[in-house]
Every structure is written in structure tokens, then in C-alpha cells.
Structure 1
Amino acid sequence: MTMKKCIGLIVLLLVSCGTNETEETSEQMINDSTDTVSSVQNDESLDEVEVEAEEEGQETASSVPALKIPTDKTKRDESQVMSYVREGIEPNNIEIPTLGIDAPIEDVGLLDSGQMDEPSTMDGVAWYEGGYLPGEQGSSVLAGHVDSKTGPAVFYQLEELTQGDEIIVTDEQGEEKIFVVQESKSYDRNEAPLQKIFGYSYRSQLNLITCTGEFNSKAGTHDERLVVYTVLKDDLSDS
């Protein structure tokens, strides 16, 4: 059975981080990783992908333990599904009023290594086009750089978001989805809860990711990942 490549794992580990002024550029943070199929139960079960970082003579910025996450987006336990189905939008722009952020969103695919490609600019945000649409049931993920050699990047102030702050995502036609911040969490780059960040949810979630913590020159990346968890405002109204 042929599977789609894993949609989310690769973002987190990540090419979405910047670098400090004296270290490597964000492009140099991309490290080889390989996606291997660990098991396929049957057409009614969740596909699982075992992702292993290379350990051949060098530490990689995306080095993580072998992990399994569900990638199927269609088959759900009925108890998980709400009585309605949310429709998502293809994101084109993101606004975060409390931080003064108004940035374009670009669709990105996968690199040959299996990793999600990065935003083409320090002021832009990346959304993997094979993932969940913002607004549909599931966890949509947007990634942005935190800094660069020349200074702060688009998500430099992301850690300042607090519960209740709003995130506005719009498509090319101007349709918008408003998300409300629930919490922010920082994780060691090797210990992030990938299922929670990228997996299915009965609610419509949008998770924003960037780097945080000290810059590790040996690994070529920051030591931690910051994840801001948000939920569609309409879901909160209906709950």
C-alpha cells in the first residue's frame, strides 16, 4: 500500500528556525533525515511512519528519537468526530494584531530529504500543502523563522503571545479564520510531542512553531522549539 509522506514531523525539527548573527544561516540548519514505513495495518487503520534521524558521523539539527505518528486524515473513531464538519481554507496571509505581525503565507512541499521546506524569506511563514487546512478538524501547522544574521525574523516575538490573543488567517479570496491562543509550550528539540502538534483533533487547531532557547553551534540550531497552540474561535463558541 502506497502512503503519503508524513506531513508534519519534519517541520518541527526544523527548517523553520533562524540563526543568531555569528552562526549558520537557516538553510544550513536543514539536516538529512529519512522517512521509513514502520507498519501498515490495513485500509481501515492509521498509517504510521517511523522517522529516524541519520547518525552517521555527525549530529544533525533535526536529530530525534524514532517516533511513530498517525498520518491518515480520513478514518476516525466516531466518538472523536463532532456532529458537524469544519471546512478549512488554503492560507495566504497571517495577522497577529497583538504582535503587529502581518505576513504572507506560502505553500511548501518536501525536500529530497523528506523534510518540510522552509519559508523563502525571513518575513514569511510556511504551511505544508499536504497537511491540514486551517479551519478543518485537525492540527494545521505554520512555521516561521525566529531570527537571522541580520536580526529578528517574523516569529521573533511569538513567545509574547498569551491566552486569548487572536490569530487571523485569510485565503486569497479574503475568507478568514480566527484562532484563539490557548497556551504556549517550549520543548527540547528532541522531545516535542509530535502527535499533539501534528495529529488529528476533533477541534480545528492551528499550531505556530519557531525556535527558542540557546543557539547550539555544534548542532546548528536552537536547543528548543516553541509551539503556540490555538483553537478556531467558532469551536470555542460552540463548546
Structure 2
Amino acid sequence: MPGSPRCGGRPLGRAAAALCLLFATVLAGCEPVATPPAPDPPPPAPSGSPSSATPSGEAQAAAPVRVRIPAIRVDAPVGPLDVDARNVLPPPDTNDGTGWWRAGPEPGERGPAVIAGHVDSYRGPAVFYRLRELRAGHLVHVDRADGSTVTFAVTQVERHAKDAFPTGRVYGDTSGPELRLITCGGEFDSRDRRYLDNVIVYARVQDGTP
């Protein structure tokens, strides 16, 4: 699952803070944690106090509470995730639910909202087991705490080795609201008990959705 430092707090968070991320992956119930090389140093943190407004000055959207992906039969809760003492975002603590990077944009705000989920565990397939099957045009619905729903359309699905994770592309600033869905993938290293790759889904908000 993705690791994401808070570079100076929430005002930088949203899109700009994303440039100083670490990435960690844990197969549910297994160790160790795999951490790719750190990305380039982040830009300086802006001064000022945290605000409920986005960098563009727009009102902050409500937090996500559920993600629905009809094409792969996903209908799962979304919980907030915060970085740990190592500045790495831990994976969700459940195989059936997902986790949202709380320091980043809420889904529907400008920038890349990031939701992560496990691919499987010793008990079998987990919430994002079929994530790799998504294709351009498939829809992702994110229900939010205020009762609203924002819909994204998949634009691309990629698989990258964990030591070549595209940090800037995943977490970098965008001109509009986007979504990233991330899980493990590729070959499973039975000796180290971990997958060697990550599956990353890129999606953009559909025109006309809030």
C-alpha cells in the first residue's frame, strides 16, 4: 500500500505534498515491509495554518466512506490512513476494506486522491484482487460522508516494480480531480513473503459529477 509523508501539514498536502512520498507494501499478515527508494526532495513547505480549503481556494469535499467498482464487483468501505513514525502510510488493517490517504485530497477535489487495498492474504482474495482487470472507461464511484457520490472513469492501468514506483506520476499535482487505486501485483516472492510489483489504476472525474 502507498506510503505518503506529510510535508509540512495539510496545506502542502493535497497535491504539492505528494512529491515527498515513500511507498511501503505489506501483504496482509506477512512481513517484511518493502520500501522503494525515496523520491526527490520535496519543495519547501508553505507558511500558514492548516485550512479547510483546497489549494485552489475551493471548499473542501467530504471524506470518502465507500468505494464501488461495478466492473470488478467491489463495494467496500473506505477508512482514513495516516503516516506512521517512519513517514510511511500503512496498509488498511482489513482485507475487505480500503484506506484513503487522509493528508491528500478528498475524492472530487483537485489533485490525486489515493485509495489503497490488499490484493489477497493467506485466507484468499482481498478487496482489490481484481483491480488489474480494470480497463479505460470503467467507472469508480466514491461515496462521501455528506451523502454525495463522485464518479471517476478509469484512464489507465499500470504495473510497476516496487523499486521503480512512479511517485511523481501517482501523487503529483493534477489540473483537476483524479483518483489512484493501488494494490500489490506481479510475481509473489515466497522467500520474502511479498509481491514484487504494484498495480496502479488512474482515473479522472467524470464531467458533471460534483
Give the TM-score band, short-chain normalised.
0.7 to 0.9
Question: 2 CA distance for matches of 1:116 and 1:214?
Answer: 23
Structure 1 equivalent of residue 124 of structure 2: 151
Q: TM-score, normalised by structure 2?
A: 0.79
Structure 2 equivalent of residue 199 of structure 1: 172
Cα pair distance change 1:139/1:70, threshold 3 Å: farther
Structure 1 equivalent of residue 64 of structure 2: 91
Q: Provide the alpha-carbon RMSD of the alignment.
A: 2.8
Cα pair distance change 1:73/1:14, threshold 3 Å: farther
Pairing partner for 1:162 from 135, 139, 158:
135
How far did residue 74 of structure 1 move? 7.6
Structure 2 equivalent of residue 46 of structure 1: none
Letter of the 2:107 partner, please give it.
P
Q: Deviations over 1:89-141 (max 9, x none)?
A: 31100000111111000001122222112212100000121111111111111
- Alignment partner of 1:3 is 2:15: no
Structure 2 equivalent of residue 45 of structure 1: none
Question: Percent same amino acid among aligned pairs?
Answer: 31
Letter of the 2:8 partner, please give it.
M
Cα pair distance change 1:74/1:181, threshold 3 Å: farther
Look up the SS of the partner of 1:9 in the other structure.
coil
Cα pair distance change 1:69/1:105, threshold 3 Å: farther
Larger Rg, first or second structure (1 or 2)? 1
Letter of the 1:13 partner, please give it.
A
- Could you list the runs of 5+ residues in structure 2 that have no partner in the other structure? 1-6, 48-55
Residues 71, 199 of structure 1: 8 Å contact kept: no
Cα pair distance change 1:218/1:94, threshold 3 Å: same
Structure 2 equivalent of residue 182 of structure 1: 155
Q: TM-score, normalised by structure 1?
A: 0.70
The number of residue pairs the alignment matches comes to 188
How far did residue 211 of structure 1 move? 0.5
Q: Deviations over 1:187-225 (max 9, x none)?
A: 011112101101111121100000001112344321111
Structure 1 equivalent of residue 86 of structure 2: 113
| TM superposition outliers: structure 1 runs of 4+ over 6 Å | 71-75
